Structure 1
C-alpha cells in the first residue's frame, strides 16, 4: 500500500490510455468520461423497473443506486489514478454484486443451510464485508473475489437456462453472454496488447469496456430478475420488455409486470 493512498497516480494499475493528454486535471480523459453511461442508465432503470420493484421489493432500486455509485467511483479512479480510487472502484463493484445476489439469487439454488432470503442476504453481506476488509490489507483479494463471482454467475445462468423454454429469455441470455464476451475482450486487450494499440494510436478499449459492461449488467440483471420473479411472484405475470423500441425488442431490457393487483412479496 502506498504511503499516501489519495495521491494521484498512486494506483497499482495504469491503463493503456495516455495520462493527462487532454486535461491537466484528468489523468485518463476517455476512461473518465465513458463512465457517464452509468449515471444515465442507472436512473433510467430505476424508472423502468419501478412497477416491478413495487410488486417485488423496493430494495431493487438499491441495486441501481449502487450501480450509479460504481460509475462515480470509476470516474474518480480514472480521473486521479489514485490507490483509494482503485479500491473504491473495485469495492463498489463487489457491493453492487452482493446487493444483486441478496435480492435476485434463485431460491432453489440456496445452499442447504440457508433458511430464507434474509438469512442468505446476511451471509452474502458478511462475506462482502470480510472481502472489503481484506482488500485494504491485500488488494488482490478483491480481484480474486470478483473473478470467482463472475464464473459463479455464469454457472447459475446456465443452470437456469436448462430449465427455460421461453425463446425470448433464451435470446436474452445469449445476447447477455455475447455482450459480456465483447466487454471482457476489450478489457483484456487493453491490458495485454497495450503496445499494439498505442502503435496505431487507439487507446480507447477500456472506455469501450465501460459502455459494454454497463449494457451487459442491464441484460444480466434483467435475466436474474426474471428468474427471481418466476419463483417469487409468478402470479404477477412478469415479462421482458425493451426501451425505447418495445415493439421491435431493441434497446435496454427490463422486467415489466402485466398483472398489478397483487400483494407485494415479502421474502
Structure 2
C-alpha cells in the first residue's frame, strides 16, 4: 500500500477506503469530520467561560481532545494511536458522571469522589497503553476493544438515564425537553449509520459509500454537546442563577444566565438619578 503511515494496524479499519483521497491521511472523511468535535468543544468553552463551574469548561476541553484524538487515529489507523481516540471519551463521561452526582449546592460525597474517578480513568488509560505493546496479538486486540466498549457502554447508559431524569424534573423549563429529544434523535441516526458502516461495508462500497462513520462524528459531537448543556442548565438552576436555553442560528444551543443588562438596569438608573441629585445639591449649595 502506497501510503505515508504504512499498513493499518488498528483494531478496527472502518469502511472508508484507506488513502483514497490523500497520501498522508488514512481515512480522509473520518478525519475531516472529527473537526466537528473540536468546534463543538471550542464553542461550548467560549460560550460558558464565565459564570459556570470549572468542571464544565473541563468537559468542553475534553470534547476538544476527543476530536484531536479522533483526527490522529483516523488519520493514521495505527493501533498505538487508537488510545488517543478512546481515552478522552472515558474522561468526558467521568466528568458528566461526576457532574450529575454532585449537582447540589453542598458536596454529597466529599473530596474523595473526583479523586477516585480520576484514578479510575488514569488506571484505565494506563491499561490501554500497556496492552498496546502486544498489539500484534489478535486476542489481546479483541479483549482490549471489548473491555473498552463494555465499560464505555455501561457508563454511557447510566449517564443518559440520569440525564433523562434531569429533563423530567425540568420539563417545564423552556427548551430542555426539545433539546433532549433533538439530541437523542440525532444520536440514534448517527448510531444506526455507525452500525451500517461497520456491518455492511462491502455492500455499500459496491454501490456508493455515503461515509456513515464520518456522519457519526457529526451526530456524536452534537449529542455529546447537548447532554453537556442539559447538565450545565441543571447545575445553574440549582445554584439559583436563572439559566435559559438560548440558540445561535436555531442550531447551536447554549446556557445563558440572567441578562446582565436587565439585572443591572435598576442599579444603573438609580445610580444615574443619584448622580443628578448630587449635582443639583452641589449647584444649590454653590
Aligning the two structures, in what range does the TM-score lie when normalised by the shorter sequence? 0.7 to 0.9
Structure 1 residue 255 displacement after superposition: 0.9
Map of 1:238 onto structure 2: 243
Match of 2:188 in 1: 181
Q: How does 1:162-173 map to 2 (within 5 A)?
A: 162-166=168-172, 167-173=174-180
By percentage of residues, which structure has more helix? 2
Structure 1 or 2, whichever has the larger Rg, is: 2
Cα distance in 2 for partners of 1:217, 1:94 equals 12
Query: How far apart are the structure 1 equivalents of 2:108 and 2:171?
Result: 28
Q: In the alignment, is the contact (CA less than 8 A) between 1:15 and 1:191 conserved in 2?
A: yes
- Could you list the runs of 5+ residues in structure 2 that have no partner in the other structure? 132-142, 264-286
Change (3 A) 1:84 1:203: farther
Q: Deviations over 1:180-222 (max 9, x none)?
A: 1112111111111112211212140000101111111111111
CA distance in 2, matches of 1:14, 1:42: 26
Aligned to 1:131: 124
2:74 and 2:47 map into 1 onto residues whose CA distance is 29
Root-mean-square deviation (CA), in Å?
2.4
Question: Using the alignment, how far apart are the partners of 1:75 and 1:186 within structure 2?
Answer: 19
Moved more, 127-136 or 215-224: 127-136
TM superposition shift of 1:160: 2.1
Structure 1 pair 121–211 and aligned structure 2 pair: CA distance change class (3 A): same
Q: Is the 8 A contact 1:66 1:95 kept in 2?
A: yes
Instruction: Tell me the secondary structure at the aligned position of residue 240 of structure 1.
Output: strand
Please give the TM-score of this superposition, normalised by the length of structure 2.
0.77
Unaligned runs of 5+ in 1: 1-5, 262-267
Say whether the 8 Å CA contact 1:39–1:71 is kept in structure 2. yes
Q: Distance in 2 between matches of 1:196 and 1:145?
A: 31
CA pair 106-239 structure 1, distance change in 2 beyond 3 A: farther
1:33 is aligned to 2:24: no
Query: Does the alignment pair 1:79 with 2:75?
Result: yes
Answering whether residue 235 of structure 2 is matched by residue 228 of structure 1, we say yes
Bigger RCO (CA 8 Å, 6+ sep): 1
Aligned residues: 242
Which of 106, 109, 113 is the aligned partner of 1:115? 109
Which runs of 4 or more aligned residues in structure 1 lie more than 6 Å from their structure 2 counterparts after TM superposition? Answer: none
